[in-house]
Amino acid sequence: MPVPEDFAEAVLTLAEPAEGQAVVENLWLSVDPYMRECMDGDWELDTPLEGRSIGRVVESRSAELPIGSLVFHREGWRTHAVVSAAEVRVLPRYDGVATESFLGLLGGTGLTAYVGLTRIARLRAGETVYVSAAAGGVGTAAGRLARLLGAGRVVGSAGSPAKVRLLTEELGFDAAFDHRTGPSLHEQLGRVAPDGIDIYLDNVGGEHLEAAIGAMREHGRIAWCGAISQYSSGSAPAAPRNLFDLVEKSIRLEGFLVANYRQVQAELEEFLVPHLRAGHISDRLSVTEGFDRTVDAFLGMLRGENTGKSVVRLGRGDLESPCDTP
C-alpha cells in the first residue's frame, strides 16, 4: 500500500499561456485505482501528476476557451494548469445536472459501467448481474445502470456492513454481501444469487473472479474491468483456479479499457441525462475537501473508505453545481 510519504506537494510558477492556450483553475479532481498502477513506473518522480479534472478557464488566449467556461482535462492533482483547446473538453451544461457528474456518472466512471454492461457483457432484460466493489464509483454506477437497462436481479459485494446496507436500502441492489467477513465468497454469492448469475462486472479480480466463475450460468459473460485486490499485493494472484469452467459453461470473459470506448460517451449522455433530470438516478460521490487532502482521498479510496466515486473538491467547486442551462 502506498503511504503519504510517497508524495510531495510542490509550489511552482505557472507558465504564461501562449497563443491558443488558457489557464484553468481546477475545481474538482478525480482519484482512481489505476493511479496505484501508475505508481509502479508510469508516473515519473518529481513531476506534476496527471488525472481527470474539471476546472474553470480564468485566463485565455484561445477563442475556443472563453473565460468562465468549464472544461474537463487530464492535468490533475494540481490547482492550476495551462491547456490548449485540443487537450480539453468544454463541458456541456445540462440543466439540473451537476458539473461534477462529468467525473461520476457522466464521466469515465459511468462510461466504464455502461460499456461493461452494454458492449462487453451485452446485458439482456431479466438477467442476473453481479457487481464487485459494488459500493465504489464504477460499482454504484453499474448497479443502477443495470437496473435502468432492464436487469432482472442485481447483486453486489462490498467491504462493510454499512456498505451492504447502502447497496440494498438506497442504491437498488436486490441483495449484497460483505466480502471482508463471513463465509467464503463462493458461499455468500450462492446465497444472494441462488439461481446463479448471467453477468459479472469484475472490479476486483482474484478470489472474486473465481467465485463469480463458479456461480455463473451457462453462456454467462464476464466484463473484466479491474483487479483492485492485486494492485498493491506485490504478487500474482492465486485465483482464479477454475478457468476451465469457462469452457464447460460456455462463458465469455472479456477485459476492456474505457479509453477504447470514448465514442460511446455521446450515447451515455443521451441515455443518462434524462434519467438524471427525472431523478431516476443520481450521482453518488465521496467528496474530500481541499487540494492538500488529495493524497488522503486517494489512499482512503484504496482502503475502501469511499462510497461512490471518490473526488476532491478544490476551493469554490461548490459554486459550480448544478450546471446552468445551455
Give the residues lining the site for ligand NDP (CB under 6 A): 32-34, 108-109, 112, 133, 135-139, 158-160, 163, 179, 203-204, 225-229, 256-258, 301, 304, 306, 309-310
Judged by beta carbon, residue 17 or residue 206, the one nearer ligand NDP is 206
CA 193 to chain CA mean position, Å = 24
Closest approach, Cβ 123 to ligand NDP, in A, equals 17
Q: What are the beta bridge partners of residue 57?
A: 24
Judged by beta carbon, residue 136 or residue 220, the one nearer ligand NDP is 136
Classify the C-alpha dihedral 167-169-171-173 as positive or negative.
positive
Judged by beta carbon, residue 57 or residue 103, the one nearer ligand NDP is 103
Residues 6 or more apart whose Cβ sits within 8 Å of residue 246? 213, 252, 253
Judged by beta carbon, residue 175 or residue 301, the one nearer ligand NDP is 301
Task: Return the residue matching grid coordinates 461534477.
Answer: 100
What is the phi/psi pair of residue 221, to 5°? -130, 140
Strand duo 197-202 + 309-313: pairing: unpaired
Q: Are 82 and 22 in contact (CB under 8 A)?
A: yes
Closest approach, Cβ 291 to ligand NDP, in A, equals 20
Judged by beta carbon, residue 112 or residue 118, the one nearer ligand NDP is 112
Closest approach, Cβ 92 to ligand NDP, in A, equals 22
Closest approach, Cβ 14 to ligand NDP, in A, equals 29
How many C-beta neighbours within 10 Å does residue 58 have?
12
Judged by beta carbon, residue 22 or residue 197, the one nearer ligand NDP is 197
Closest approach, Cβ 68 to ligand NDP, in A, equals 30
Judged by beta carbon, residue 154 or residue 228, the one nearer ligand NDP is 228
Closest approach, Cβ 76 to ligand NDP, in A, equals 14
Helix axes 137-148, 108-115, angle to 10 degrees: 50
Judged by beta carbon, residue 17 or residue 33, the one nearer ligand NDP is 33
Closest approach, Cβ 141 to ligand NDP, in A, equals 8
Closest approach, Cβ 271 to ligand NDP, in A, equals 18
